[in-house]
Amino acid sequence: MMQTRELKEEKAIVLDFLPNGYPFDTRPMHKKTPIVQALGKEHFILLELVPKKDVFLQPYEEVYMGEGKRDKIHHIIGRINASKLTQTAQSELDVIIIDLVNKQESRFVEFFNKAEPINTRRHQLELLPGVGKKHMLEILEKRNEKPFESYDDIKERIKLIPDPRKLVAKRILIEIREEDKYKLFLS
């Protein structure tokens, strides 16, 4: 079933730039299109973009691709599957996700404060790698006393929990690679 409103990314982070298009593209050189593989900053959507003529992009560079005038991106081809990412894009993905998770701390701390049960047997918190029933119950107990304020606050108040930043980043990667049917951070 299709959503009525498609999520749109305004900005993306470059994972890889292929100035001569994909190596497996068998068309003559003059017909190949430069390709950018990128990750949306807000919804973590993997995208394939076409840069404007004579624009050269670097990994980690932020590009605007929303409505209106775009400086570096000509058009958006569309979403791509994680399996279609180049080796470079795959290796940059982990680093960029950790960076985005650090920069969007309040968004993800809010998740720890608001996460709910999925059904009678499973809680959203348990979808985070490394969080089982014990950690989940402790998180629920501590957030009822006082909402969490930061990643450090979570780490301090929950005994033996792995680094909350890494938990969130690992979960985002699981969702990007479509390794689980549940979606916490991707839409």
Residue pLDDT, tens place only, 23-49: 887 787 777 889 999 999 999 999 999
Confidence band of 6 (pLDDT split at 50, 70, 90): low
Q: Give the Cα separation of 15 and 28 in Å (integer).
A: 25
Q: Give the Cα separation of 44 and 100 in Å (integer).
A: 9
In the predicted structure, residue 2 carries a pLDDT above the cut 80: no
Determine the 3-state secondary structure of 51 from DSSP: strand
Mean pLDDT over residues 115-136, rounded?
94
Q: Counting beta carbons within 10 angstroms of the beta carbon of residue 154, is it exposed (0 to 12), middle (13 to 18) or buried (19 or more)?
A: buried
Q: Give the Cα separation of 138 and 156 in Å (integer).
A: 12
Beta bridge mates, 179: none
User: For helices 164-176 and 87-103, what crossing angle results, to 10°?
Assistant: 140
pLDDT tens, 75-111?
999 999 999 999 999 999 999 999 999 999 999 999 9
The CB-side HSE value for 123 (13 A sphere, CA atoms) comes to 18
- List the domains of the chain with CATH numbers: 11-81 (2.40.50.140), 104-176 (1.10.150.280)
In the predicted structure, residue 155 carries a pLDDT above the cut 60: yes
Q: Give the Cα separation of 76 and 186 in Å (integer).
A: 19
Angstrom CA distances, 164 to 65, 70, 156, 169, 179, stand at: 30, 35, 11, 9, 20
Are 38 and 12 spatial neighbours (Cβ–Cβ below 8 Å)? Answer: yes
Residue where the block lists tokens 């938990």: 167
- The tokens for 109 are 């701390």
Q: What is the pLDDT of residue 4?
A: 40
The CB-side HSE value for 113 (13 A sphere, CA atoms) comes to 14
* Nearest CA among 53, 60, 61 for reference residue 19: 53
DSSP class of residue 117 equals B
